[in-house]
């Protein structure tokens, strides 16, 4: 997948699920760049989730009609008043 594949999701809500834990998260930002060797180059996705539950660093099923279901490794990177932010990096 490339950053362009995720661009229709920016500002939209996705379902994030694994091992009986599920949340809805909004794709806040897509950042491109880096020196990745992958087709389409490197990019990062930043998601905003709720205050509870918080998700540990792990691989999750991220679902939306525009991309189907994808396995993404999400890392909690910040806690804001709105909840937790998670990042997925593609290199």
Can you tell me the distance from the alpha carbon of 46 to that of 29, in angstroms, rounded to the nearest whole number?
Answer: 5
Write out pLDDT tens, residues 49-76. 999 999 999 999 999 998 999 999 999 9
**What is the Cα–Cα distance from 53 to 90, expressed in whole angstroms?**
25
pLDDT tens string 11-32 = 999 999 998 889 999 999 999 9
Are the beta carbons of 25 and 76 closer than 8 angstroms? Answer: no
Which residues have a Cβ under 8 Å from the Cβ of 65 and sit 6 or more positions away?
none
Q: How many domains does the chain have?
A: 1
pLDDT at site 39: 74
Q: What is the CATH number of the domain that holds 40?
A: 2.40.30
Range of the domain at 52: 3-90
pTM of the model: 0.92
């Amino acid at each position: 997948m490339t950053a362009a594949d995720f661009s229709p999701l920016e500002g939209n809500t996705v379902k994030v699920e694994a091992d009986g834990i599920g949340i809805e998260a909004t794709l806040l930002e897509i950042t491109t760049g880096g020196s990745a060797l992958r087709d389409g180059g490197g990019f990062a996705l930043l998601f905003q989730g709720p205050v509870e539950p918080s998700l540990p660093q792990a691989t999750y099923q991220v679902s939306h009609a525009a991309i189907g279901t994808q396995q993404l490794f999400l890392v909690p990177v910040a806690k804001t008043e709105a909840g937790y932010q998670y990042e997925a990096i593609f290199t």
